[in-house]
Structure 1
Amino acid sequence: MSTRKAALIDMGTNTFHLLLVELNGVGFKTIYKEKIAVKLGQGGISQNQIAPDAQKRAFHTLKHFKNLIDGEHIDQVFAFATSAVRNAENGSEFVSKVKADLGIHINVISGEQEAQLIYEGINLSGSLNGQTTLMMDIGGGSVEFIIGTSREVFWKRSFEIGGQRLLDAFHYHDPILQDEVEKLESYCKEKLQPVIEAIENFKPTALVGASGTFDTLTDIYFESMLQCKLTGQHVFELPTVDFECIFEMLKTKNREERLKIPGMIAMRVDMIVVASYLIEFILRYIPVEAIVCSHYSLKEGAVARLLSGETTV
């Protein structure tokens, strides 16, 4: 069976991911993966700009990724930029500079395309079945919601209310103040009304969270249970009661204290409070006993496209 290699770069608002894979037509093997907290949205996302320091971090990381890709002699490179770049007034200038200096073509995808790729990644993980499921992915710039089954998508939408945006707008004190939580509450009720209506319409009975914050929450949960995640496992369950306990703990701690929580990582410590609030908000409308957490998301959705025979993603 013939194999080919491909590289996927997911340029998120907070984190850049690199995934190097070997495709054999029916499945894929991970050659290498890495994630770096570039924080592309820091210092500029609320002004629809990519700040100079953020651009420097992005170029440094992309050059590092390019060296790794070249080292594996991979010529199929698929790079995706999401909320921070698609909304930045200097986004196209940044994309052009990356192409000119590093030879990496960046595909700036819409919120709807992002939601579709996230769905395909979640589906590839084996998180879905016949039941109607609400899926969510909390990025630094945007949050995607999808309702569907393993067979089809019924509804999907992207909202520009990601963790970095919420952090900039509401989380001024650490620990977060009750007044800030109440303002965040009003904002979510207003902005996420279409999601609430979609839940009422399609009546999902399961909740799947993709990657990012959900990975860290399950890490904290597994550490609290003195358990290890199995290598090669892509789907995890986080009981809702345990999520609520973790959320209550996160709300009462400052950054330094949160960093000491077993399972916490530095790249999530700033946004995890507002991101967890978003999850808690959604749980009010979809009461489930456990949140299913998919380790796969956008970049694996791109892999799913390549496995289906598509030559472009």
Structure 2
Amino acid sequence: MLSIKKYAAIDIGSNAVRLLIATITEVENKPTNFKKTSLIRVPIRLGQDVFTEGRISETNCQRMLTAMDAFKNLMKCHNIEKYRACATSAMRDAENNELLVDKIKDKTGISINIIDGKDEAAIIAATDLYSMIDDHKTYLYVDVGGGSTEFTLFSKGKTVTSKSFKLGTVRLLNDTVAEQVWDDAKNWIKEKAKSYDKIQMIGSGGNINNIFKSSGKKAGKPLSYLYLTSYYQLLKSLTYEERIAQLNLNQDRADVIIPAAEIYLSAMKWVGARSILVPKIGLSDGIIKSLYHQETSASENS
């Protein structure tokens, strides 16, 4: 018996908006296969508006409408059965978020869920993260975004605790992160980690994925603290233009990658981690998996 479904996830972040289209193949007596069919990323950078002005500008509201209309048409072309659109830190903080959500719903039919940091961490945990975790080890999972960073502590194969901090790359670029936020994140992590002898780091987000790709390492191999430190120093030694030209970084990646590296390195230092694992997962992957889990649970209970 063969069953093929197509789901979509829309991730409305502080730096970029993404549409992930996934093909889900179910074969009797075999594990379900999730294949990324298409990924479209639009660097609207809502956080630039929200973290400096408190609201999304008319220009970016229009860009959002255009992007969502395009996403609607792409989902239609792909015969998407189910989708979910989730908005994170920038949309959470925007004064005009409800107005924009209503306008997008009216113009495109796409319903957007504005989720908090706890929901964001839970959705990401719906990915294959647990399959990568050794039940005998302890991990600090760090997901760095443009507006916030989610920290989740895993031990013995289970989630111990998680917390979101307004410590994001776009916020840092705009100098809107108070020193107290760094202190709060550091103190929270140190407090939660003090009961464990050795902690392994897991990192997710576009920036750490980019750094991992540049390392040339094979999937599943960790990045060392030494490598991440040296790459961070290289990034800082180059101008914005040189990062684009020499490191082949996108324009919207070439600036945020430095504060992202700072966050990962800080977290590694706080727990004494010597390396960081970089599975290629994120919020959009979690949305796909959570949609699938919801459907299978509903089928089993019906």
Same fold (TM over 0.5): yes
Q: Which residue of the other structure, out of 241, 248, 262, is the alignment partner of 1:277?
A: 262
**Distance of 1:4 and 1:262 partners within structure 2:** 38
In 1, are the aligned partners of 2:167 and 2:181 still within 8 Å (CA)? no
Aligned to 2:17: 16
Matches of 1:296 and 1:198, distance apart in 2: 24
3-state SS of the aligned residue for 1:294?
Answer: coil
Aligned partner of 1:2 in structure 2 is 3
TM-superposed deviation, 1:309 = 4.2
Higher mean displacement: 245-254 or 138-147: 245-254
Question: 2-side partners of 1:139 and 1:276: how far apart?
Answer: 12
Is 1:195 the counterpart of 2:199 in the alignment?
no
Give CA deviations for 1:119-158 in whole Å, capped at 9, x if unaligned. 222516x432221100011101111000115832101011
Q: Deviations over 1:221-250 (max 9, x none)?
A: 22xxxx7x6xxx5x4521221111001112
- Residue 285 of structure 2, aligned match among 283, 293, 300: 300
1:260: Cα distance to partner?
Answer: 2.6
Aligned counterparts of 1:198 and 1:164: Cα–Cα separation in 2: 27
Find 1:63's aligned residue among 56, 66, 69. 69
Q: Tell me how far 1:190 sits from its aligned partner.
A: 4.1
Aligned residues: 291
CA–CA distance in structure 2, aligned partners of residues 151 and 308 of structure 1: 19
One of 114, 128, 133 as aligned partner of 1:128: 133
Shift, 1:196, TM fit: 2.4
Structure 1 stretch displaced more, 207-216 or 46-55: 46-55
- Structure 2 equivalent of residue 49 of structure 1: 55
Q: Label 1:92 to 1:304 Cα distance change in 2 as closer, same or farther (>3 A).
A: same
Higher mean C-alpha deviation, range 35-44 or range 100-109: 35-44
What does 1:147-226 align with in structure 2 at a 5 Å threshold?
147-149=153-155, 151-169=157-175, 188-202=182-196, 205-222=199-216
CA distance in 2, matches of 1:241, 1:59: 43
Q: CA 1:150–1:309 in structure 2 vs 1: closer, same or farther (change >3 Å)?
A: farther
The answer to whether the Cα contact below 8 Å between 1:219 and 1:263 also exists between their aligned partners in 2 is: no
What's the counterpart of residue 177 of structure 1?
A: none
Structure 2 unaligned blocks of 5 or more: 27-31
2: CA distance between counterparts of 1:55 and 1:312? 36
C-alpha separation in 2, matches of 1:264 and 1:201: 39
Change (3 A) 1:203 1:56: farther
In 2, the alpha carbon distance for the partners of 1:129 and 1:265 equals: 35
Change beyond 3 A, Cα 1:190–1:64: same
Q: How many angstroms apart in 1 are the aligned matches of 2:53 and 2:241? A: 28
Q: 1:58 to 1:158 in 2, by over 3 A?
A: same
- Say which SS state the counterpart of residue 133 (structure 1) adopts: strand
Deviation at 1:301, TM superposition (A): 1.3
Query: Identity across aligned pairs (percent)?
Result: 27
- Structure 2 CA distance for aligned equivalents of residues 117 and 312 of structure 1: 16
- Code of the residue aligned with 2:200 in structure 1: it is A
Matched-pair contact (CA < 8 Å) for 1:82–1:109: yes
Q: Secondary structure at the match of 2:194?
A: helix
